Structure 1
Amino acid sequence: MKNDRGLGLAGLILAVAYGWQAQQLQVASAGSGAIGPGAFPTLLAIGLAISSLYFMIRPDADQPWPALKVFVQILSVFVALVVFVITLESVGFIVAAGAVIAFLAWRMGASLKPAALVGGGAAVGMFVLFNYGLELSLPAGALWGMS
Structure 2
Amino acid sequence: MSRFNDRVFGLVMLAVAVAYYYGATQFPVPFGGSEAVGPETFPKILGVVLAICSLYMIVKPDADNAWPAGRTFVELGIAIVALIVYALLLEPLGFIISTTLAIGTLCWRMGATPLKAYLTGLISGIVVFVLFTYGLELPLPLGLLELN
TM-score by length of 1: 0.70
8 Å CA contact 1:3, 1:62 repeated in 2: no
Deviation at 1:42, TM superposition (A): 6.2
Per the alignment, residue 55 of structure 1 pairs with 57
Stretch moving more, 110-119 or 95-104: 110-119
Per the alignment, residue 111 of structure 2 pairs with 109
Structure 1, unpaired ranges of 5+: none
Deviation at 1:43, TM superposition (A): 6.9
1:74-93 to 2 correspondence within 5 Å? 74-93=76-95
Amino acid at match of 1:83: V
Per the alignment, residue 67 of structure 2 pairs with 65
Amino acid at match of 2:14: L
Number of residues of Structure 1 aligned to a counterpart in Structure 2 = 143
Residues 1:40 and 1:109: Cα distance change in structure 2 (over 3 Å): closer
Amino acid at match of 2:112: A
Stretch moving more, 21-30 or 5-14: 21-30
Partners of 2:133 and 2:109 in 1: how far apart? 28
Amino acid at match of 1:73: E
Cα displacement string for residues 3-60 of structure 1 (whole angstroms, at most 9, x for unaligned residues): 2122122123223433544555675756xxx9x9878866765664454344334433
Deviation at 1:108, TM superposition (A): 2.3
Partners of 2:40 and 2:138 in 1: how far apart? 20
Partners of 2:42 and 2:142 in 1: how far apart? 28
Deviation at 1:91, TM superposition (A): 0.8
Specify the structure having the higher radius of gyration (Cα): 1
The structure 2 residue matched to 1:9, chosen from 11, 18, 23, is: 11
Partners of 1:144 and 1:3 in 2: how far apart? 46
Partners of 2:95 and 2:24 in 1: how far apart? 28
Please say if 1:125 is aligned against 2:127: yes
- After superposition, the CA RMSD in angstroms is 3.5
Amino acid at match of 1:87: L
Deviation at 1:97, TM superposition (A): 1.0
TM-score by length of 2: 0.69
Question: What secondary structure, in the 3-state scheme, does the structure 2 residue paired with 1:109 have?
Answer: coil
8 Å CA contact 1:2, 1:62 repeated in 2: no
Structure 2, unpaired ranges of 5+: none
Per the alignment, residue 94 of structure 1 pairs with 96
Residues 1:135 and 1:9: Cα distance change in structure 2 (over 3 Å): closer
Partners of 2:47 and 2:83 in 1: how far apart? 23
Residues 1:2 and 1:26: Cα distance change in structure 2 (over 3 Å): same
